[in-house]
Structure 1
Amino acid sequence: MSENTGDAANRGVARGLSRAQTLLVAAAAGMSVANIYYAQPLLDLMANDLGISPSSIGLVVTLTQVGYGLGLIFIVPIGDLIDRRKLIIVQGLLSAIALVVVATAGAKAMLLAGMGVVGLLAVLVQILVAHAAALATPTQRGGVVGTVTSGVVTGILAARSVAGTIADYGGWRTVYLTSALLMIAMVGILVKALPRQEVERHPETYLDALLSVPHTFVSEPALLFRGVLALLIFASFSTFWTALVLPLSAPPFSYSHTLIGLFGLVGLAGAIGATCAGRLADRGYGRWTTGISLVFLLASWALIAFLPHSILLLLMGVFLLDLAVQAVHVSNLSVVVSLHPQKSGRLIGGYMVFYSVGSAVGAITATAIYARYGWPGICVLGGAFSAVALLVWIVSRFSTSADRTNRLAECTRG
């Protein structure tokens, strides 16, 4: 009886995900991750409404990322042990409640606490990525992960445009109320659309799963290398997007939040970068895709530095920055998922801890640096993060070449 059930489950997994199901998961992932980024173009509105100083308003983004990091550590590994479908439903509903708390916050403390919980539950996006990877067949897994990641990229970038537009018409609180309603609708659709999957019995406990993550990253140099790159590139990414609203909303530009949000649409190139990077990684070019993308990331800051003198060059810089960051990100994910497919949930979570730390560091340092040094300080900061990431990649290339030379020498002597 149990063997037949297991065979049926295996046959269900063998069928994989349909194109429609994959696109639905991608859309859900995009909606989930957007909750982290709605605040970035709204920081000045939140500050004015709740009396938060401009130098400390970056805490909104930072605490969201801190919550996200905690969720990656303590929630995502659960997906390797229980039915991910049920976990997705519970997280979606709790996220809707947290978003309502943010929307109705009447004081700084309530807002910051609510944003922390929003970040904690936003790790739903990583549960969705891991679930899609688990349901996909081995031959379609790369394409499925690439499509879902493209949905994540779109959600990150569209969040700023959507938030800016809604805020101009209904205020910043309406943004979070709207998102809460969308989360409830998303859960209802996923309940009917996501296939059920037989849950395997795991001998390991929740504590075992938690402890295995740092051990695996320490014992696998490739995982640690990709994690460090994630921290640096997303520190650069967060530096730019956290600070951008500050000069554009002030004179001489005085742009509306709708217009500022449209800058995020330029970054939709990141979705293209995610798809192409995934295909190149499948063909064995992941490391070189990473290196070239890091060069583009550093170059993007040279263009971004032309603000306020040239909006056109700024837009070109945004295009390059988002394209480079998402290309490196997908290359990283391809490595993480391929190393230990049976532990994909917890390893993606561990990798994204680096992402979350980098985003938090970029957000809090960006607002502090801008208050003291203005936009030139932001460009130096973002360029420094990018340069260090490129340096790490170069050092890794030399290390890999040295290892290969030593192995070849040993074989020759043998």
Structure 2
Amino acid sequence: MSQSATKAASAGDSAGLGGALTFLFALSCGALAANLYYAQPLVSLMGADLGLPIAAESAIVTVAQIGYAIGLVFLVPLGDLLENRALILVTMATNVVGLAGLALAPGLTSLFAGMLFVGATSCAAQMLVPLAANLAPEEERGAVVGNVMSGLLGGILLARPVSSFLADYLGWRGVFGLSAALIAVLALVSLFMLPQREPAGERGYWSLIRSLGRLFVTEPVLRRRGLYHAAMFAAFSLFWTAAPIILLREPFDFSPSGVALFALAGVLGVFAAPVSGRLADRGYARIGTISALSMVIAAFFVAIFGATSLTALVVAAVVVDLGVQANLVFGQREIYRLAPNIRNRLNAVYMTTFFIGGAIGSALASPVLEAFGWFGVCILGMAMPGAALVYFALAEGKGD
């Protein structure tokens, strides 16, 4: 199998992904990543159903993101050790099991356990992205990663309106049940379409895991890009966990379907990914990063007026998502230039770093909103990318 896998990988490297396979990569990444965000506009419904205190509702999203970080650290690096196709298929199959269990969760313990398990196995998305990068020609890698990431980001951005809309008809459990069916179908299609790729590495598993910390320390580009996006993703998670909560309250009094319509504003952010990938291929990652960080700071300033203005909230939502998604692709393009044979580990460190930031942002949303109101959320949201911008100026002010 190793010889045939190598041939398949070589064929993919020379020919690229092709339209159908690129679409499968993008759709699968989007469906898997969406699992982390279906709960974001539903935390109030889930908490009320299972007796969770209001101040702790955002912990539902936080647990999923912690699970994702666990998967990034302990599962994604296996892509540098095991045959990629088999690894991805097994991880997707276990994700289906986790989603089905979550849909049937009888209480808070099983809810949080289910969210943790679903989060961990949804990291199959981050096995697909480096596989796409490995199959793409060097001169097109940014564009290919951007196209695949547009699917992943589309899943993240559509997850909120889709789950809000479906919850009105199927309840929150139905949302996760439908997701289980979708991932099962995609896994079946992937069984026939995904190419095999046997990694060249000979390292043992624990040696592979220990190398992650060393990569963070020894690769300054990886470390900087991870920390920039940790701040950005914290702001992103803060906004999208807190905004649905205030929309369900006065003066807006939105229904879940109303929140779904609001969340559609963020879907425009998906267009940032392919554009950013092409700009990165042309050497504009540096100015693009500055622009993306500045956009999110400006978005939260506008969002201050969103306590009473729906227009301000919509504008802020669009700009937050555009800035965050653009910065993600700039960062990925930069780290994929470092070492082709360890892309799974580079991706694991990068994603783990910023998902920790996202978990922090989600965890802070409910308590900050309850203690300091929407104004406090917006000030914290500006401070996060502001700190990243200061770090960027100090670390890269004189060039990379």
State TM-score, norm by structure 2: 0.96
Q: 1:6 to 1:255 in 2, by over 3 A?
A: closer
Partner of 1:36: 36
The superposition leaves residues 26-79 of structure 1 with CA deviations (integer Å, 9 ceiling, x where unpaired) of 001000000000000000100110000010111111111111111110000001
Distance 1:110 1:200 in 2: 36
Q: Distance in 2 between matches of 1:7 and 1:308?
A: 58
1:137 Cα shift? 2.4
Residues 167 and 257, structure 1, Cα contact 8 Å, conserved in 2 = yes
Quote the offset at 1:105 in angstroms: 0.9
Q: How does 1:311-330 map to 2 (within 5 A)?
A: 311-330=310-329
Contact 2:63 2:115 in 1 (8 A): yes
1:155-185 deviations in Å (ceiling 9; x for gaps)? 0010001100110111110000000111111
CA contact (8 A) 1:160 1:262 kept: no
Could you give the per-residue CA deviations for residues 309-348 of structure 1, whole angstroms, max 9, x where no partner exists? 2211221111111111111110000011111121111110
Q: Does 1:19 align with 2:19?
A: yes
Per the TM alignment, residue 201 of structure 1 is displaced from its structure 2 partner at its CA by 4.7
CA offset at residue 200 of structure 1?
Answer: 4.1
Measure, in 2, the Cα distance between the counterparts of 1:351 and 1:210: 14
Whole-angstrom distance in 2 between the partners of 1:5 and 1:226: 32
**1:129: which partner in 2?**
129
The residue identity in structure 2 corresponding to 1:384 is A
Task: Indicate yes or no: 2:112 matched with 1:112.
Answer: yes
Whichever residue aligns with residue 159 of structure 2, its letter is A
Partner of 1:287: 286
**Counterpart contact for 1:296–1:320, Cα < 8 Å:** yes
Give the % identical residues. 38
The alignment partner of 2:312 has SS state of helix
Contact residue 84 and residue 196 of structure 2 kept, 8 A: no
How far apart, CA to CA, are the structure 2 residues paired with 1:5 and 1:43?
43
Amino acid at match of 1:257: P
Equivalent pair of 1:301/1:379 in contact (CA under 8 Å): yes
> What SS does the corresponding residue of 1:125 show, helix, strand or coil?
helix
How many residues end up aligned between the 2 structures? Answer: 400
Query: In structure 1, the residue corresponding to 2:105 is in which secondary structure?
Result: coil
Equivalent pair of 2:251/2:308 in contact (CA under 8 Å) = no
Which blocks of at least 5 consecutive residues in structure 2 are unaligned? none
- Name structure 1 gaps, 5 residues minimum: 404-414
Deviations 1:68-98 (A, max 9, x none): 1111100000011111111111111111111
**Deviation digits for residues 325-372 of structure 1 (CA, Å, limit 9, x no counterpart):** 111110000011111121111110110111211111001111111111
1:12, distance to aligned residue in structure 2 (A): 4.5
- Which secondary structure does the structure 2 equivalent of 1:299 belong to? helix
Deviation at 1:202, TM superposition (A): 2.6
Question: Is contact 2:139–2:281 with CA below 8 Å preserved after alignment?
Answer: no
Runs (4 or more) in structure 1 with deviation over 3 Å come to 2-9
Per-residue CA deviation, residues 259-285 of structure 1 (Å, 9 max, x unaligned), is 212222211222111111111111111
Structure-2 separation of matches of 1:237 and 1:217: 23
2:201 paired with 1:202: yes
Letter paired with 1:262: L
TM-score by length of 1: 0.93
1:58 aligned partner:
58
Return closer, same or farther for 1:11/1:185 CA change in 2, 3 Å cut-off.
closer
Aligned partner of 2:75 in structure 1 is 75
Q: Give the aligned partner of residue 176 of structure 2.
A: 176
In structure 1, C-alpha distance between the alignment counterparts of 2:302 and 2:9, rounded to whole Å: 52
Is the contact made by 2:16 and 2:136 (CA closer than 8 Å) also made in structure 1?
Answer: yes
